[in-house]
């Protein structure tokens, strides 16, 4: 009998973890399922975080007692709902009007519209405004920033996130490993994303590689994220 492939084994582990660890029979599970199905019906690309990754983000938010979360890249609001389920208020930035509208629908259906603000526009235009507003009125900084947007702009997003996160807060950069594989192959070692993040003052970061069957095929099962803490 042929042995299962690595992808098939990863898929089996994912299935077991989904069944054992994820919410399955409560309001949150219903809201998350609706967000995925509605996003699919409305034609959004299937590139959201995985269910297990969403739960990881919710756990991370609770570990640092996050009250204010910033997302760069909303898509259909799936990760937004995970964050809001922890009791945090969420500010989410989305450049695509259709994606933003679908996310608003999904968040409202989940019952979190009072604690979520989805801002339409280019994040690189919105982030300076958020930083200026915080400096002007002394608004509390964010506890956690999720970056799940344009891979080509990951470093720019990180530099803004460092300014917007409180000391002791964290930054989660999704797709850090896949982006490095595809973007940094021909970049000098001193100019890779990881090298540049390593030179940021007051930032301690690591990279965690991940195997997942989320994308549905073997070609994209290897990825990983960058997690950083801002020391102040």
pLDDT at 216: 60
More confident residue, 207 or 134: 207
Confidence of residue 182 (pLDDT cuts 50, 70, 90): confident
Q: Does the pTM of the predicted model rise above 0.85?
A: yes
From residue 102, alpha-carbon distances to 38, 51, 112, 158, 178 in Å are 8, 18, 14, 26, 27
pLDDT at 1: 64
Q: Average of pLDDT values for 36-48?
A: 97
C-alpha to C-alpha distance for 218 and 93, rounded to whole angstroms: 31
Q: Average of pLDDT values for 197-212?
A: 95
C-alpha to C-alpha distance for 32 and 223, rounded to whole angstroms: 23
Long-range contacts, 55-59 (Cβ 8 Å, 24+): 55/21, 55/22, 55/82, 57/82, 57/83, 57/146, 57/172, 58/82, 58/83, 58/85, 58/86
pLDDT at 188: 85
More confident residue, 157 or 215: 157
Domain boundaries, the chain: 6-230
- Residue 87's CB is within 10 A of a number of other CB atoms, namely 12
**pLDDT tens digits for range 95-125:** 999 999 999 999 999 999 999 999 999 999 9
pLDDT more than 70, % of the chain: 97
Give phi and psi for 122, each to the nearest 5: -70, 125
More confident residue, 217 or 155: 155
In this predicted structure, the answer to whether residue 160 has a pLDDT above a threshold of 80 is: yes
CATH number 3.30.413.10 is the correct assignment for the domain at 6-230: no
pLDDT at 163: 95
In this predicted structure, the answer to whether residue 217 has a pLDDT above a threshold of 60 is: no
């Amino acid at each position: 009998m042929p042995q299962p492939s690595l992808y098939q084994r990863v898929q089996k582990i994912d299935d077991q973890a989904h069944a054992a660890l994820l919410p399955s029979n409560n309001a949150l599970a219903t809201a998350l399922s609706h967000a995925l199905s509605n996003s699919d019906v409305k034609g959004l690309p299937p590139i959201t975080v995985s269910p297990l990754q969403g739960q990881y983000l919710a756990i991370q938010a609770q570990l640092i007692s996050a009250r204010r979360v910033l997302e760069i890249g909303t898509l259909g609001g799936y990760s937004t709902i995970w964050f809001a389920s922890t009791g945090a208020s969420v500010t989410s930035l989305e450049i695509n009007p259709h994606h933003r509208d679908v996310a608003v629908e999904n968040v409202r259906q989940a019952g979190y519209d009072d604690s979520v603000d989805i801002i339409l526009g280019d994040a690189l235009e919105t982030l300076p405004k958020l930083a200026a507003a915080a400096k002007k009125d002394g608004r509390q900084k964010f506890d956690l920033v999720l970056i799940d947007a344009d891979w080509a702009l990951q470093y720019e997003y990180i530099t803004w996130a460092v300014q917007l996160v409180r000391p002791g807060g964290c930054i989660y950069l999704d797709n850090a490993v896949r982006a490095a594989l595809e973007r940094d192959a021909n970049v000098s070692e001193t100019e890779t994303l990881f090298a540049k993040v390593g030179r940021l003052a007051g930032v301690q970061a690591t990279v965690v590689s991940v195997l997942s069957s989320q994308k549905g095929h073997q070609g994209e099962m290897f990825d990983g994220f960058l997690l950083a803490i801002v020391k102040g």
